[in-house]
């Protein structure tokens, strides 16, 4: 009796199954239980699965596999639906009435003065800084105090402005030291309330302090009756992280004005956007990520009206 030939596995089966698994992850990542911050970690780097899909697409071409090609195309369509709009540059909505730059300086940074000079070279109207300490605060004061005569600094965060400031206050977000402030800025047209925030860092098994601060911040924003509100700083939270969703329901953030997803950290090769500028009652007419200037975060700049 003739021996039956073993059935061959369809060409590109593994490639196609991996692509479909990635597509499922993109669609249903919200179902991942957030145990020990695992979901937050996955969602932070979720946009990067697009790189894996490109590699799988090349593999599908090499294998000449219709199944793998269709699976990769389907997963890429899901990726584009999730990130395509953010990847493309946003349309300008006119000229800004004022501009704001924000950056985490990095504590004990010997280059703080040079960073401040690079920010002032852009001639913003407002400068928001995080991770100030005794060393770098003195350095940036020497650069910022003359062009920005109005300032409000508490703890490790501060704001310098061309416009007068009133009603400054520390925001108590449940951490042991001052990492957030609120201050009214006499911006053109009407006063704008600006929060400068630096949420707690996230490390393996260390995420509860960030989540608590983010929850407190969301409650503060929801209770704030300011008509024009800007919340800017280092959130230590990626745009794709589910923990940011409640704040995103209260405020909006414009896409980057240039091609790209606007990643800000780490400065040498950004892989996630941890620095944000959320608004209410304002229109963001421009949003950009600044070049690496000596900190571990890249700064951001927004034009508002």
What does 22-54 look like in DSSP terms, one character per residue?
HHHHHHHGGGS--GGGHHHHHHHTGGGHHHHHH
- Domain boundary residue, one of 87, 109, 130: 87
Q: 64 and 26, same structural domain? A: yes
Q: Which of 138, 140, 134, 162 is nearest to 150 (CA)?
A: 162
- List CB contacts of 284: < 8 A, sequence separation 6 or more: 93, 252, 253, 254, 277, 302, 303, 304
**pLDDT given at position 6:** 58
Left (φ > 0), alpha (ψ -120 to 50) or beta: where does 260 sit? Answer: left
Q: 208 and 63, same structural domain? A: no
- Domain boundary residue, one of 62, 87, 112: 87
The residues facing 229 across adjacent strands are 193, 280
Q: 229 and 80, same structural domain? A: no
116 close to 132: Cβ distance less than 8 angstroms: no
Q: 76 and 161, same structural domain? A: no
Q: 83 and 104, same structural domain? A: no
Q: 237 and 148, same structural domain? A: yes
- List CB contacts of 147: < 8 A, sequence separation 6 or more: 120, 162
Q: CB 80: neighbour CB atoms within 10 A?
A: 12
Per-residue model confidence as pLDDT tens for the chain (305 residues): 455 555 666 789 999 999 999 999 999 999 999 888 889 989 999 999 999 999 999 999 999 999 999 999 999 999 999 999 888 887 666 899 999 999 999 999 999 999 999 999 999 999 999 999 998 999 999 999 999 999 999 999 999 999 999 999 999 898 777 899 999 999 999 999 999 999 998 887 788 999 999 999 999 999 999 999 999 999 999 999 999 999 999 999 988 888 889 999 999 999 999 999 999 999 999 999 999 999 999 999 999 99
**pLDDT given at position 89:** 83
Q: Which of 67, 76, 90, 93 is nearest to 26 (CA)?
A: 76
* Alpha-carbon span 60 to 230, nearest angstrom: 46
The DSSP call for residue 265 is: B
* Alpha-carbon span 223 to 250, nearest angstrom: 10
Q: 152 and 249, same structural domain? A: yes
Q: 237 and 120, same structural domain? A: yes
Q: How many domains does the chain have?
A: 2
**pLDDT given at position 204:** 76
Q: CB 226: neighbour CB atoms within 10 A?
A: 16
**pLDDT given at position 154:** 96
Residue keyed to tokens 């584009």: 80
- Domain boundary residue, one of 55, 87, 119: 87
Residue 140 belongs to domain spanning: 98-304
Q: Report if pTM > 0.85.
A: yes
* Alpha-carbon span 87 to 83, nearest angstrom: 6
Q: 136 and 60, same structural domain? A: no
**pLDDT given at position 4:** 56
Cα torsion angle, 201, 203, 208, 214, sign: positive
The DSSP call for residue 94 is: S
């Amino acid at each position: 009796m003739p021996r039956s030939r073993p059935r061959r596995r369809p060409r590109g089966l593994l490639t196609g199954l991996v692509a479909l698994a990635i597509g499922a992850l993109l669609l249903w990542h919200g179902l991942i239980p957030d145990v020990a911050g695992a979901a937050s970690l996955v969602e932070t780097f979720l946009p990067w699965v697009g790189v894996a899909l490109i590699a799988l697409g090349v593999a599908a071409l090499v294998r000449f596999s219709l199944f793998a090609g269709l699976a990769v195309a389907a997963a890429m369509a899901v990726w584009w639906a999730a990130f395509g709009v953010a990847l493309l540059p946003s349309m300008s909505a006119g000229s800004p009435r004022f501009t704001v730059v924000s950056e985490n300086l990095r504590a004990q940074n010997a280059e703080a003065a040079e960073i401040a000079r690079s920010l002032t070279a852009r001639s913003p109207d407002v400068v928001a800084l995080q991770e100030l300490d005794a060393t770098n605060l003195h350095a940036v004061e020497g650069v910022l105090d003359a062009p920005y005569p109005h300032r409000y600094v508490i703890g490790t965060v501060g704001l310098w402005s061309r416009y007068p400031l009133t009603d400054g206050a520390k925001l108590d977000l449940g951490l042991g030291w001052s990492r957030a402030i609120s201050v009214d800025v006499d911006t053109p047209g009407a006063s704008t309330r600006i929060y400068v925030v630096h949420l707690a860092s996230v490390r393996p098994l260390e995420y509860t302090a960030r989540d608590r601060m983010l929850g407190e911040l969301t409650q503060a924003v929801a209770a704030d009756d300011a008509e024009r509100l800007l919340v800017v700083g280092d959130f230590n939270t990626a745009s794709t992280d589910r923990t940011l969703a409640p704040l995103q329901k209260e405020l909006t953030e414009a896409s980057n004005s240039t091609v790209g997803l606007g990643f800000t950290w780490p400065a040498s090769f950004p892989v996630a956007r941890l620095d944000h500028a959320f608004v209410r009652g304002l229109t963001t007419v421009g949003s950009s990520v600044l070049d690496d200037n000596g900190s571990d975060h890249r700064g951001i700049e927004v034009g508002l009206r």
